[in-house]
Structure 1
Amino acid sequence: GKKVKVFELDQVNTLNVKVETLKKAGIKHDWITYIPVDYANESWVEKLLGAGFDKTRKTLFLWQSVSLYLEADIVKETLRKMADLCVDGSIIAQDFYSKAFALGEYSKTAKRFMGIIEKMGEPSKFGIDMSDDPREAVESFLRECGLKMTNYIQFGEKLDIEPFYCIVEAEVRPHKAGMTITEQKEIVRKGYDKLSYAYRSDNATDDEGFYTEWVNCLKDKIAAGSPVLDLGCGCGLPATKLLSEFFKVTGVDFSEVQIERARKLVPAAEFICSDIADLQFSNCSFAAVVSFYTIIHIPLDEHREILMRIADWLSPNGYLLIIVGHEAWTGSENKYLGVEGGEMMWSHEGAETYTQWISETGLRILWTRFIPEGESGHTLVLARKSINK
């Protein structure tokens, strides 16, 4: 115990029970720092840091028998906070119940167990769908939280249709650990400053056909000369240039190198060098907003707010044409496109999450298309703002 610094966070009554239990058992516990937390009204992160937690040291988080009682978004938020709080190589040990078990649908045993829990005043709320590939389902959930699963043990596969419970170890991904949103953005900005020409030369035409097809989705829907916003325009090729042949285009990118090139390559368009999160446009300013391969580079915590703002910027009956992640993933490369020192980051949810978020803004999803790339790909979404929005 003397070589390990241990913090125990819990509600005050629960902590008191734990301390009394240790005393009765005659177990020394003076090396444990107990931190009472009112989770409804206090930040457990601030309480932990205030108690002397050193976020520069590797940490083992134990989070057991808790997620079952929380909403899914709270589970994700908590795991992401853990990932943001500690350094590379830190480990989170966690357990999960299956969704069927949490709903009491698994077996007679599960139903009895859930009945007992509900009588105690703590109804189950969260479980992972383990009906298909349980290991992949859990691993995918952890990826969404910036974690890499390193160990997985499941229970119940021989007793019924699917596992009802699993214990996992997950490692904090190096690019995610302890990094602020500003730091994540700087990696992307500096990355595209350095990678601009490697990503797309002044005369690249290899994938112009795809962009032409995507831009044509708007040609028959929006009047010529209408104002269109291109978020994450890069050097302006090929999307902004294609759009500028039909519409009055404003391109936005926060790489100074990309914007400088865009102004030369696409003189018909206007360009703004800015973080998308800092943009200020009046409501109903654009007949369409286009964004190809951009939101996947923005820190995940900002995605929903950006989509809400896009919806505000669109005119009634305006269109959003956007490429989002197909599967949830957070990752980085230190030598992107083979360029030494060309660091890049990605952070995105899966397509279903984005269609839900876009729908929540009041836009109506018209269609989605899978855009293959390598072993996976991305999803192209076309959505429309109603005239009453």
Structure 2
Amino acid sequence: MAVNTSNPSDLRQLVADGYNVLAQPYLDWSKGPDGGGNGGNDTPLERHFDQFLSLLSSKRDETQEMQVLEIGCGAGIPWTSRVSKALAGNLTATDISHSQIELAKTHLLQCDPPHSNVTLLLRDAMELQFDPNQLDAVYAIFSLIHLPQQDQKTILKRIATWLKPDGLMFMNFSGQLESSDDAEVWLDGKTKMYWSSLGLLSYDQALEEVGLSVITRDVATVVEDGREIPFVFYIVRKR
């Protein structure tokens, strides 16, 4: 299916529609051996997420609850759950897919005990609105890669505005330069999905331009469905 890349909202809707179908299959796949270590032990993602949590914990302010945003919470496990448990504050977890949000409700709000510091929002990332200097941290795991290239640049600029000075962000991107005009069939052999990437040097430049200083930048190979795919993992801090 040809995708009109001149209309980013169409691409984002394609991603939403795809995950509405694939929410549970994606969760099952991500836990398995072909899922690129999304939640596995001793993976680049796991190691850098642990570092992000450690840095977040060190920012704890006993006089004020922290405000953290997750872009693309998926089913709410494992990452949303882990941040919720570690966080002295409030976590706003967003996703563009209503099926993902329903799974997240089951895993986070209908469990015993519920994650009372989590607010779930069904929201397109490009429609999120926060005040300048409102957020202590933002994280986005395998989510910004679903935005068209220009949207990725725009959301990084917005996030830099939302973060407080010294605020943190953790994110990952594909290390390959790619901007596809066609969605790809994924997971179930019939449902379309879309990804794009600016390429490594462009991400470095984009972060610098919006005032986000790199703490960690690691290019690591992730094996998905038997394919080796380079991803870059960033932890950054607002200057």
Tell me if both proteins adopt one fold, taking TM over 0.5 as the criterion: yes
- Counterpart for residue 82 of structure 2: 242
**1:335 alignment partner, one of 178, 182, 185:** 185
Aligned ranges for residues 1-389 of structure 1 at < 5 Å?
175-177=2-4, 180-201=7-28, 204=31, 207=37, 208=39, 209=41, 210=43, 211-222=45-56, 223-224=59-60, 226-247=66-87, 248-267=90-109, 268=115, 269-331=118-180, 332-337=182-187, 339-373=188-222, 374-386=227-239
Contact 1:263–1:270 under 8 Å retained in 2: no
Higher relative contact order (CA 8 A, sep 6+): 2
Looking at structure 1, the residues matched to 94 and 131 of structure 2 have their Cα atoms a distance apart, in angstroms, of 16
Looking at structure 1, the residues matched to 50 and 184 of structure 2 have their Cα atoms a distance apart, in angstroms, of 35
Alpha carbons of 1:286 and 1:183: their partners in 2 closer, same or farther (altered >3 Å)? same
Q: Deviations over 1:82-129 (max 9, x none)?
A: xxxxxxxxxxxxxxxxxxxxxxxxxxxxxxxxxxxxxxxxxxxxxxxx
> Which ranges of structure 2 fall in alignment gaps of 5 or more residues?
110-114
How far is the alpha carbon of 1:291 from its aligned partner? 0.7
Looking at structure 1, the residues matched to 29 and 175 of structure 2 have their Cα atoms a distance apart, in angstroms, of 29
How far is the alpha carbon of 1:295 from its aligned partner? 1.4
Matched residue type, 2:102:
E
Looking at structure 2, the residues matched to 189 and 203 of structure 1 have their Cα atoms a distance apart, in angstroms, of 18
Output the TM-score relative to the length of structure 1.
0.51
The number of equivalent residue pairs is: 212
Q: Which runs of 4+ in 1 moved over 4 A?
A: 176-179
- Counterpart for residue 75 of structure 1: none
Matched residue type, 1:189:
A
Q: Quote the sequence identity (%).
A: 25
Bigger Rg over Cα: 1
Alpha carbons of 1:256 and 1:318: their partners in 2 closer, same or farther (altered >3 Å)? same
How far is the alpha carbon of 1:191 from its aligned partner? 0.4
Matched residue type, 2:52:
L
Alpha carbons of 1:213 and 1:187: their partners in 2 closer, same or farther (altered >3 Å)? same
Alpha carbons of 1:199 and 1:318: their partners in 2 closer, same or farther (altered >3 Å)? same
